[in-house]
Structure 1
Amino acid sequence: MSPETERYLTAAAVLLTYAAFCGLVLWRRRRKHSLAPIGGKTGNDPVLVAYASQTGFAEEVARRSAEALQEGGVPARLAPLEALDGPALAKAGRAVFVISTTGEGDAPDHATRFVRRVMGERAALEKLDYGLLALGDSSYARYCAFGRQLDAWLQTQGATPLFDRIEVDDGDGGALRHWQYHLGKLTGGPAAPDWAPARFAEWRLVERHLLNPGSPGGPAYHLVLEPTEGGAEWQAGDIAEIGPRNARAALDRFPPYFTEALRDRMLPDDPAELAGASPEQARERLKPLPHREYSIASIPADGRLELVVRQARHPDGRLGIGSGWLTEYAPIGSPIALRVRSNRSFHGPDGGRPMILIGNGTGIAGLRAHLRARAAGGRKDNWLVFGERTRAQDYLFRGEIEAWAAKGILARLDLAFSRDQERRLYVQDRLREAADTLREWVAKGAAIYVCGSLEGMAAGVHAALLEALGQEELERLAEDGRYRRDVY
């Protein structure tokens, strides 16, 4: 036997042994994280994972959701919707709902009792925070109708959405990945591999530059990507799913047979950290990475796909998985795994309505795409309300925004730089100052689009809109598709 053959056989034996070890660890971990029973406790109050399922798919997604929460260190308990009532929901504190629709917009059979006995009554849910996944098929006239009905009922009872309702059309993998992305944010821990991995296309990173040098906040980068083959279509409001990787150069310090095995793997940390890692640590770091989502900041007519990405860092100083790859590790000219996901809930309004665009920070990306589309279409009835930390360092795309104002593309521009004065000033404060104008625009048919941070900004803007327009009017706007959000 040649030395070369012996080396490869040894490597194969090591890999087989390692795989067996990983299987044992995974089995033990699954036992450790078995689902908590209804009403059970596992250290602190679990998140309620409720489902309404006709064919079993919603129940399976709910179970996987509960497992994902527990794998992330958050206790979870699983319950069919009919096992719940108003007091149980009020006591839950946090809940996620996986809800299917059957027939012509009906609740699944087992949930009819909940609809009749619970949704027909008043419930005090002011202390309930929730997320909702609605499963449906858009070939039916009343697509996701029961999920939408439950979402509206929860809000009228005072419950607060953790994020906007996610709708899944016929098992769409992109929407399920988006749901999993939000579950990961609930745990605050390392994200798990995608349930339905995206089929990424290869794009190339052609430009990257810092938008806010000297900012008191995290660095924000403007990225430009081009497809390596053919073109790509999307609309303003759509999302880019990115498959992050890490610096390949660090792999050079490992033996050839090891780097070959890692060449196409997505590594969550700098590969150098694998040196000296225990098998358990190595297994965790070799898992395929979950995708990351970013609002697209351009339109197809621009001939390129643009993103605005803020660097995120872990408490120990390590860069975030997606932002680190895009802003630091990926060399200019390198391939980027990317998939465009349609985001119908944030597409532009029908009928050429006026638009009120509200956002902060990197939320300018989604708003910029809409404004570029409006400018290309000659629409000038646009109002931008944008906020960041300082005018000098954080006025993202200042030249472009001020050019739109000068040309009349922006009929109105309101800016809020929170740290430029002693009293903090935010976009919701600008909305309150312009409440009369806001009501006038809405009366003329304007649609309101919000893009940016879920924590702080989105809730503050929603409260300001409630004050100016009232609960009934804001609900009507949402039902008519005139109040849309892309918040994260």
Structure 2
Amino acid sequence: MTTSFIPESAPFNEEQRAWLNGFFSGMMGINPNGNPQEIMEAAGVSVDTLPAAEPEEEDFPWHDASLPIVDRMEMAEGRPVERRLMAAMAQLDCGSCGYLCQSYSEAIATGEETNLTLCSPGGKETSKMIKKILKESDGTSNGAAPAKSAATNGSNGVAANGYSRKNPYAAKLIESRELNLEGSAKDTRHVAIDLGESGVTYDVGDALGVYATNCEDLVDQIIRSIGGNGGMMVTTPNGVSKTLADSIRDDYCLRDPSDELLELVLGRIDDSQTKATLERMLDEGVPEGFDVLDVIEIAKDVPISATEFLETLSPLNPRLYSIASSQKHVGNQVHLTVGKVIYEREGRLRKGVASTMLSERLQSGQTLRVFVQPNHGGFTVPQNSDTPMIMIGPGTGIAPFMAFLQEREATAAKGKNWLFFGDQHASTDFLYEGELRHYCDTGLLTRLDTAFSRDGDQKVYVQDRMREHGQTLWQWLEEGAHLYVCGDASRMAADVDRALKQIVHQYGNMDESAAEQYVKTMTQQQRYVRDVY
């Protein structure tokens, strides 16, 4: 039997390995009692200096947005803390945290990132699990690898013009124009922002980070409820001195009560029923729409100082919006499509922080702090301008596809374009109808299929339209079309994914397993890309 001197990990092919093994076997023949390693070193070859094999790519079985957090945590059981933290993330790699799922979890594990509430798609479920993991691990990283730098993950990096997530640009609002017509149950805005001479640039598929401010009325109610003085000076988390009112308005999240706030109130009340309610919230999470003011009102006359109140609040994180414009078309502007969030709960009007700022509180000419969040995973127009595109974006999910179409028009791209759009009513909710009809007339938009769910006896959604035109959609895919999805992750994107696999299964004459693999390959090739939240 021939002795193998060359490790399997060494970067040689079979022929090279056989020759080298023969060479060293010959050396062994000259000195049969020699140690193989000593003989190799005598020949000037050290085992230690042989190039090592590339490390295998680590498997992250939990990195699947369709899996519930319970299953993901089960898969990560026994792994190092940074991997369990990763399993707690929403698995979308959406960039809303300023990282990707892996790099955000590694940054937390190493202590580089202290904000545990940046995973907005994961929401309370994720932040609660992160705190639990860190508590169980006593805050130790268990040997976590350093998080990738901002320049590596393409998320937090400082742009050439100096503006970034940590140094946003003070842009001016041009307009916030209503897109829905009278009678609609929705209020969706086309928001245009002036980038001035900032030099801020973006690509189609990128998102715009917006630092919102809280509603003044809510801030005033909170200060009154804790018996505070809005004019008293406090120090913000980043060390800036400002008034209590300004700090609560600019720096803190008033939507999701932290566990620390619940615990503070719980430790100071006597009523057993209220205690039981708060304990249940700590265990199960607060009800949907239950905010910081609700907690304070439960506390009633319990004394809470402004300083200790601020210490329990989470930071006010920026909101990310898909950019709805191509810079080749709008120049030094950036456009967004924003759905205003407003509803009533427990006799009090609740408002989305950023959406109401952009739709009602901010006037034309006033400033807002913004930064560009680069797209991830290939969510942009194909490099080859002849490649067909299929775009699926109901509601505000149409935003990036307005940018895609503007880009294709500006570059005179020859590739076919197919858009699926849906909303409630055609008469009031056909966002950008004029622009889309114009694109159909010019031939830029090859196909436009709509699904207005409230216009018929049965609700029809974009995934239903996909199935109706499944044969044609399959032909486009076989021609190499790229398919893009933007919008709600929990329902729409999952339904669209299911419909896509059914179409591949049916019209591609594949079994379910082969259809799954076909779609998986599309994802790996960045031909099936999603921007979901």
Among 464, 478, 483, the residue aligned to 1:429: 464
Tell me, yes or no, if the aligned pair for 2:181 and 2:427 is still in contact at 8 Å. Answer: no
Instruction: Report the alpha carbon displacement of residue 182 of structure 1 after superposing the two structures with TM.
Output: 2.3
1:374: which partner in 2?
408
Q: What is the DSSP-based 3-state SS (H/G/I as helix, E as strand, rest coil) of the residue aligned with 2:494?
A: helix
Matched, 1:164 2:92: yes
Letter of the 1:323 partner, please give it: S
1:142: which partner in 2?
none
Residue correspondences, number: 344
Tell me, yes or no, if the aligned pair for 2:451 and 2:461 is still in contact at 8 Å. Answer: yes
Cα RMSD (Å) of the superposition? 4.1
Deviation readout 1:224-282 (Å, 9 max, x if unpaired): 11124423211111011111113569989966545745446335459xx7999943794
2:31: which partner in 1?
none
Tell me, yes or no, if the aligned pair for 1:215 and 1:394 is still in contact at 8 Å. Answer: no
The CA distance in 2 between the partners of 1:444 and 1:299, in whole Å, is 26
Equivalence map 1:73-472=2 (5 Å): 104=54, 106-107=56-57, 130=72, 163-165=91-93, 168=99, 180-184=119-123, 186=125, 198-214=166-182, 216-247=184-215, 256-258=231-233, 260-263=243-246, 265-268=250-253, 278-279=304-305, 282-283=309-310, 287-301=314-328, 302-303=330-331, 304-313=333-342, 316=345, 317-345=349-377, 346-352=379-385, 353-380=387-414, 381-469=416-504, 470-472=515-517
Instruction: Report the alpha carbon displacement of residue 223 of structure 1 after superposing the two structures with TM.
Output: 0.6
| Cα distance change on mapping 1:226 and 1:364 into 2, 3 Å | same
Q: What is the DSSP-based 3-state SS (H/G/I as helix, E as strand, rest coil) of the residue aligned with 1:371?
A: helix
The CA distance in 1 between the partners of 2:187 and 2:420, in whole Å, is 22
Q: What is the DSSP-based 3-state SS (H/G/I as helix, E as strand, rest coil) of the residue aligned with 2:396?
A: helix
| Cα distance change on mapping 1:208 and 1:107 into 2, 3 Å | same
| Cα distance change on mapping 1:416 and 1:263 into 2, 3 Å | same
Deviation readout 1:130-188 (Å, 9 max, x if unpaired): 59xxxxxxxxxxxxxxx9xxx9xx9xxxxxx9653458579589x99996222326469
Instruction: Report the alpha carbon displacement of residue 436 of structure 1 after superposing the two structures with TM.
Output: 0.7
**Stretch deviating more after TM superposition (356-365 or 282-291):** 282-291
Tell me, yes or no, if the aligned pair for 1:416 and 1:427 is still in contact at 8 Å. Answer: yes
| Cα distance change on mapping 1:428 and 1:284 into 2, 3 Å | farther
Q: What is the DSSP-based 3-state SS (H/G/I as helix, E as strand, rest coil) of the residue aligned with 2:358?
A: helix
The CA distance in 2 between the partners of 1:479 and 1:294, in whole Å, is 25
| Cα distance change on mapping 1:354 and 1:262 into 2, 3 Å | same
1:46: which partner in 2?
none
The CA distance in 1 between the partners of 2:373 and 2:499, in whole Å, is 30
Q: What is the DSSP-based 3-state SS (H/G/I as helix, E as strand, rest coil) of the residue aligned with 2:338?
A: strand
| Cα distance change on mapping 1:186 and 1:383 into 2, 3 Å | farther
Instruction: Report the alpha carbon displacement of residue 453 of structure 1 after superposing the two structures with TM.
Output: 1.3
| Cα distance change on mapping 1:255 and 1:237 into 2, 3 Å | closer
The CA distance in 2 between the partners of 1:216 and 1:262, in whole Å, is 35
1:74: which partner in 2?
none
Unaligned runs of 5+ in 2: 1-51, 74-82, 108-112, 132-154, 157-164, 224-228, 234-241, 256-292, 505-514
Tell me, yes or no, if the aligned pair for 1:269 and 1:285 is still in contact at 8 Å. Answer: no
> Identity of paired residues, percent?
30
Tell me, yes or no, if the aligned pair for 2:178 and 2:188 is still in contact at 8 Å. Answer: yes
Tell me, yes or no, if the aligned pair for 1:211 and 1:219 is still in contact at 8 Å. Answer: yes
Deviation readout 1:31-72 (Å, 9 max, x if unpaired): xxxxxxxxxxxxxxxxxxxxxxxxxxxxxxxxxxxxxxxxxx
Tell me, yes or no, if the aligned pair for 1:244 and 1:266 is still in contact at 8 Å. Answer: no
**Stretch deviating more after TM superposition (457-466 or 470-479):** 470-479
Q: What is the DSSP-based 3-state SS (H/G/I as helix, E as strand, rest coil) of the residue aligned with 1:218?
A: coil
Deviation readout 1:333-371 (Å, 9 max, x if unpaired): 211111101013212222221100011100010111111
Instruction: Report the alpha carbon displacement of residue 443 of structure 1 after superposing the two structures with TM.
Output: 1.0
The CA distance in 1 between the partners of 2:335 and 2:312, in whole Å, is 29
Q: What is the DSSP-based 3-state SS (H/G/I as helix, E as strand, rest coil) of the residue aligned with 2:467?
A: helix
| Cα distance change on mapping 1:428 and 1:238 into 2, 3 Å | same
The CA distance in 1 between the partners of 2:412 and 2:532, in whole Å, is 27
The CA distance in 2 between the partners of 1:128 and 1:287, in whole Å, is 24
| Cα distance change on mapping 1:172 and 1:163 into 2, 3 Å | closer
Deviation readout 1:107-144 (Å, 9 max, x if unpaired): 56xx8xx99xx9xxxxxx8997659xxxxxxxxxxxxx
| Cα distance change on mapping 1:255 and 1:476 into 2, 3 Å | closer
Letter of the 2:123 partner, please give it: G
| Cα distance change on mapping 1:373 and 1:285 into 2, 3 Å | farther
2:526: which partner in 1?
481
Tell me, yes or no, if the aligned pair for 1:129 and 1:162 is still in contact at 8 Å. Answer: no
Letter of the 1:378 partner, please give it: A
Instruction: Report the alpha carbon displacement of residue 390 of structure 1 after superposing the two structures with TM.
Output: 0.5
| Cα distance change on mapping 1:331 and 1:246 into 2, 3 Å | farther
Instruction: Report the alpha carbon displacement of residue 220 of structure 1 after superposing the two structures with TM.
Output: 1.0
Deviation readout 1:414-455 (Å, 9 max, x if unpaired): 011011101101000110011110111011110000111113
| Bigger Rg, structure 1 or 2 | 2
| Cα distance change on mapping 1:247 and 1:204 into 2, 3 Å | farther
| Cα distance change on mapping 1:485 and 1:433 into 2, 3 Å | same
The CA distance in 1 between the partners of 2:251 and 2:409, in whole Å, is 39
| Cα distance change on mapping 1:433 and 1:185 into 2, 3 Å | farther
TM-score (norm 2): 0.56
Tell me, yes or no, if the aligned pair for 2:393 and 2:487 is still in contact at 8 Å. Answer: yes
Unaligned runs of 5+ in 1: 1-101, 119-124, 132-146, 155-160
More strand by share: 1
